[in-house]
Chains A and B, each alone.
Chain A
Amino acid sequence: MLRFVLSRLVTFIPTFFGVTLVSFAFIRLLPGDPIQLLAGERSVSPERYAELEAQLGFDQPLWQQYFDYLFGIFQGDLGTSFVTRRPVLDEFMALFPATLELSICAIVLAVLLGIPAGVIAAVNRGKFFDQALMTTALVGYSMPIFWWALLLIIVFSSGLGWTPVSGRISLMYFFDTPTGFMLIDSAMSGEPGAFRSAVSHLILPTIVLATIPLAIIARQTRSAMLEVLGEDYVRTARAKGLAPLRVNGLHALRNAMIPVITVIGLSVGTLLAGAILTETIFSWPGIGKWMVDSIFRRDYQAVQGGLLIIAVIVMLVNLTVDILYGAINPKIRKR
């Protein structure tokens, strides 16, 4: 098992360098000059421009800039945003818990609902529940996220007044946030009602963000289950006189989990990379919104640093998925 993990880690190295190169080149390929953007309406004198260029290191040749960037990475320095004058890593880490909290809630919701729904649909193939569920999943999958979010806000926030419209917690509360996870911090703050407020702020963004992964997971679970339900070992399990819950939920589902785990991993990757629309609509202070703002400001250091961290996280999620394959199906471990 250790060898398996190590061999996977080795494949990280070329991917990692590829990502640094792409993230470095990508933002510089966009038209637009960061110094001009920084200056805004005011014009910059050529002397001042040259001075700023030298100060930010943009006068160096590109390869020199790239190697400076790489060198920084290995020293744990992702550079300093020239807009906010703060280290990129600090900026990222300040916002990332918000994204992580929302993503975890969304993926947990999607998995807890999606897998059982897919199993039930597969077992009742062609019957009413199956058709109703697959239609719903298709609608959920194809629905524009911003429209769905606005619809929920109109009904549950403005209409019924059950949930707040935006933000992570009510403005009434003020406390330290040592972990950055609002659910944990509010529970530890000891302020009455704070936790409740944090939960109520999470509900709608979680539902919106979970919608597409939920639809994907349900459909994937259903099709994987349909394939597995015809297998001989499922018949063997039934021939033992086992209850349907055990036959379908253990013997069949475990074999059907490989493709399901794959789409869960992919979903986690996408969610962590920043749910830009959801974060924007609900004014959720996460990295999705920060990345978009940084791109518009041509904040080279912030964009390349942010992209790199996100890419490494996605790579780690994929590694976890690979390890889970082996844990689920012992046959894969042997390869």
Chain B
Amino acid sequence: MPLLEIRNLTVEFSTTSGAFRAVDGVDITVEPGDLMAIVGESGSGKSVSMLAVMGLLPWTATITADLMAFNGHDLRGMTAKQRRRIIGRDMSMIFQEPMSSLNPCFTVGFQIRESLKKHTDLDRKGRQERAVELMKLVGIPAPEKRLGAFPHQLSGGMSQRAMIAMALACEPKLLIADEPTTALDVTIQAQILELLTGLQERTGMALILITHDMGVVAETVKRVQVQYAGQKVEEQEVGALFDDPHHPYTAALLAALPERATERRLPTIPGVVPGQFDRPTGCLFSPRCRFADAHCKAVEPVQASPEMGLALCHYPLSHGEPTKKEQAS
């Protein structure tokens, strides 16, 4: 049984100018111990879909799904109280800005022990011991001393380590890391990613890494899901994805990696992700796609076969060439 199974997740925000669909029919499957990434540009609905799973979206969001199950519990019919028993314990999340994600008014120790107090039966002494243990686990030197520190006394990397310690407090089955390294400098990025994958291996938890950085993906995860404009456009094992991307968007993202550039000028994807008012008909990527034709702009594509990475494309690529097997139009 998958740990997290989501079918056809849609999230709509009601705004003053009408409804905005941030996530559009996304499927996600995470097995226990899985190590996967969700990749996409800003505005592709990566974070929103995970916040929906955590139940952290504001009340302006409407969440619908055919299936949204975690560890055998249906998340959809759950009361807020029931969900609060799961999040922070079996499923936890770390965020993009570690410095602002810790409460400046409380010590790091207080914020870690608070999770333990909520979800475990440990007494005061037990919580303190566990907090020290967690600080050691995430590689913070002098843990006893650092537990008494306030967030503004820690560096960005230390803050993110403290956030990870907090998220791991109750030994979650699933950790969602929402761009955990974006706000950190490059050397610290590598350390944090190494820490996350190391912890994932040691504890056997599942890890979902949300990122826009293909380089991070290549080094870190096993399986990749690519999202574009709120839709899932492709899913593959990481090696296969880098060798043979099936969706033109994935191919374009990979081509834009500096390491892969063959010419002096770095290839880019023209245009931006469609917003609330410029959603195209047919395939959402068609205005920016090299291979799009009239058919793409008129008809919404359906998912291709698993061998083609479930690509949401009329002409999924095979080794860089579109497979135009159904040239009906």
Cβ-defined contact, A328 with B87, below 8 A: no
In chain A, what residue has the closest Cβ to B88? A241
Q: Complex: how many Å from CA A240 to CA B103? A: 13
0/1 string, A228-265, CB within 8 A of B gives 1:
00011101111111110000000100110000000000
Judging by beta carbons under 8 Å apart, are B56 and A233 in contact? Answer: no
Report whether A241 and B87 are in contact in the complex, using a CB–CB cutoff of 8 Å.
Answer: yes
Q: Are B56 and A239 in contact (CB under 8 A)?
A: yes
Q: Is B97 in the interface zone, CB < 8 Å from A? A: yes
**What 0/1 readout, one digit per residue, does chain B (161-195) give for beta carbons within 8 Å of chain A?**
00100100000000000000000000000000000
Closest to A243 in B: B84
Q: Which of B111-119, B247-255, B309-317 has 4 or more CB atoms under 8 Å from chain A?
A: B111-119
Across the interface, do B118 and A236 meet the contact criterion of CB distance under 8 Å? no
Having A237-B103, A240-B118, A241-B86, one finds 15 other A-B pairs with CB under 8 Å, namely A232-B100, A233-B103, A235-B56, A236-B101, A236-B166, A239-B56, A239-B87, A241-B88, A242-B84, A242-B114, A255-B105, A328-B105, A330-B105, A331-B150, A334-B152
Q: Which of A233, A238, A240, A251 contacts B115 (CB 8 A)?
A: A240
**Using a Cβ–Cβ cut-off of 8 Å, how many residues does chain A contribute to the interface with B?**
20
Instruction: Mark out the residues of chain A between 4 and 31 whose CB falls within 8 Å of any chain B CB in the assembled complex.
Output: none
Q: A235-B56, A236-B95, A330-B150 are in contact. Are A241 and B102 (CB under 8 A)?
A: no
* Given the contacts A232-B100, A331-B150, A241 and B84 also touching, CB distance less than 8 Å: yes
| CB under 8 Å from chain A, chain B span 135-173 | 150, 152, 163, 166
Can you list 6 pairs linking A and B with CB atoms under 8 Å apart? A239-B93, A240-B87, A240-B118, A240-B166, A254-B106, A329-B104
Q: Which residues of B are found within 8 Å of A237, using beta-carbon distances? A: 103
A240 and B93 alpha carbons, distance in the complex (Å): 8
B-chain residues with CB within 8 Å of residue A328 when the two chains form the complex? 105
How many chain B residues touch A (Cβ–Cβ < 8 Å)?
29
B92 at the A interface (CB under 8 A)? yes
- Nearest opposing residue in chain B for A234, CB measure: B103
CA distance A245 to B150 in the complex (A): 23
User: What are the residues of chain B within 8 A of A329 when measuring CB–CB?
Assistant: 104-105
Q: Is the CB of A255 within 8 A of B56?
A: no
**A238 & B150 in contact (Cβ 8 Å cutoff):** no
Decide if B54 is an interface residue (CB 8 Å cutoff). yes
Chain B residue contacts of A236, Cβ below 8 A: 95, 101-103, 163, 166
Contact status B101-A235, CB under 8 Å? yes
Query: Which residue of A232, A236, A237, A255 has the most chain B CB atoms within 10 A of its CB atom?
Result: A236
Q: Is the CB of B95 within 8 A of A232?
A: yes
Verify B114–A240 contact, CB threshold 8 A: yes
Identity of the chain B residue whose Cβ is nearest the Cβ of A240 in the assembled complex: B88
Residues of A within 8 Å of B119, CB to CB, are 241
With A232-B95, A232-B97, A330-B150: A238-B104 Cβ-Cβ less than 8 Å = no
Q: Determine which residue in A233, A235, A334 has the highest number of CB atoms from chain B within 10 A of its CB, and name it.
A: A233
